[in-house]
């Protein structure tokens, strides 16, 4: 999910140009992307165009909240572009555990091969690994979302080796919808590594699931200075995955993202309600995102290119399903509820 602000004046904040072999090349004229100028509610935007790009505008101040805003709204003017290198129909939890196939296999070593992992094999969500954000956040978590996040089993639970994050239509604490937002803040954060997750996503008008990361220093430096890495986002009924980076350019904000709808003139068609293997690789030079080995996002961060120093510090994970908001919009199909994100596992391995 994302928040935006941009570079001031006519300054253009451009990350480096990458081709498919990860070498630097000239910018592609076919690439395009979007950015919003930040307002006091931390509006944000994601690329919804064919290949990703970076655009910047003058921005006003961004207020902090109890938690960062999660939004990827699709507003408009591009100033510059660059190319870079169960209980739901979406999946069968009963079969997911037995079909875990991964480059990060927990059975491959007598000792754990991971920096961190959660296989969701117990009866409950592990409190040593996860905590919950509760409530509506400032201005609907900065994005005018409509759900109330809880830590109840009605909204987040483990069953048959699968984590369920469930959005529901119900009147609760003054809101019409409930859901859950889980995070490893204060439990686990890391810098550089390979993340693999097997996830089935919900779809439906007004639905906005995400698997993402925030800088561990969020409480001290705020957003966007802490940085944000959106590994997976989807909205409404699109069978498309978005991957995006957000960070501060000086005192302001920059964003860069791509999606599976058209990345480097290739489209990956997938049913996101089924389980897919998502991979995120992060080292001193690059951040890359894949689904079923199809790369849908890449950004060069070597030597803090494009003022990307945020991405050389530890980050923690977040998982959530939002209802309505600046990006998916404010029309919600109530017939879809309950609607769930299913997570079979998350595994973090060393990048070296």
Residues assigned a catalytic role: 228, 233
**How many separate helices (H) and strands (E) can be counted in the chain?**
2, 17
Tokens of 304: 């803090």
Helix (H) or strand (E) holding 347: strand 339-349
Report the 10 Å Cβ neighbour count for 267. 14
Rounded Cα distance, 227 and 253, in Å: 10
Give the burial string for 289-302 (b: 16+ CB within 10 Å, else e). bbbeebbbbbbbbe
Whether cis (ω within 30° of 0) applies to the bond prior to 224 is: yes
Rounded Cα distance, 16 and 332, in Å: 39
CA 183 to chain centre: 12
Q: Closest Cα to residue 289, out of 315, 314, 263, 266?
A: 263
């Amino acid at each position: 999910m994302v928040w935006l602000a941009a570079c001031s004046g006519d300054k253009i904040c451009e990350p480096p140009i990458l081709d498919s072999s990860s070498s630097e090349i000239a910018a592609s004229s076919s690439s395009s992307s979007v950015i919003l100028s930040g307002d006091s509610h931390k509006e944000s935007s994601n690329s919804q165009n064919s290949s990703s790009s970076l655009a910047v505008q003058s921005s006003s101040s961004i207020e902090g909240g109890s938690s960062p805003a999660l939004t990827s709204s699709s507003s408009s003017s591009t100033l510059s572009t660059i190319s870079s290198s169960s209980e739901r129909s979406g999946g069968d939890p009963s079969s997911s555990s037995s079909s875990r196939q991964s480059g990060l296999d927990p059975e491959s070593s007598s000792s754990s091969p991971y920096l961190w992992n959660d296989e969701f094999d117990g009866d409950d969500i592990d409190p040593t690994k996860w905590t919950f954000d509760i409530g509506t956040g400032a201005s609907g978590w900065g994005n005018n979302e409509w759900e109330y996040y809880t830590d109840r089993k009605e909204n987040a639970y483990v069953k048959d080796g699968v984590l369920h994050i469930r959005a529901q239509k119900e009147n609760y604490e003054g809101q019409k919808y409930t859901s859950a937002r889980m995070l490893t803040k204060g439990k686990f954060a890391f810098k550089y590594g390979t993340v693999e997750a097997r996830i089935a996503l919900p779809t439906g008008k007004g639905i906005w699931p995400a698997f993402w990361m925030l800088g561990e220093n969020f409480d001290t430096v705020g957003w966007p200075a802490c940085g944000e890495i959106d590994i997976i986002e989807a909205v409404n009924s699109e069978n498309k995955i978005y991957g995006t980076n957000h960070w501060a350019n000086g005192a302001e904000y920059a964003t860069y993202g791509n999606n599976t709808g058209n990345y480097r003139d290739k489209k990956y068609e997938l049913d996101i309600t089924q389980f897919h293997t998502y991979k995120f690789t992060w080292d001193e030079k690059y951040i890359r995102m894949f689904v079923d080995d199809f790369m849908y996002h890449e950004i060069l961060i070597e030597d803090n290119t494009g003022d990307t120093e945020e991405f050389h510090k530890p980050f923690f994970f977040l998982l959530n399903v939002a209802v309505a908001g600046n990006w998916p919009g404010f029309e919600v199909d109530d017939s879809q509820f309950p609607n769930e994100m299913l997570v079979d596992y998350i595994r973090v391995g060393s990048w070296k």
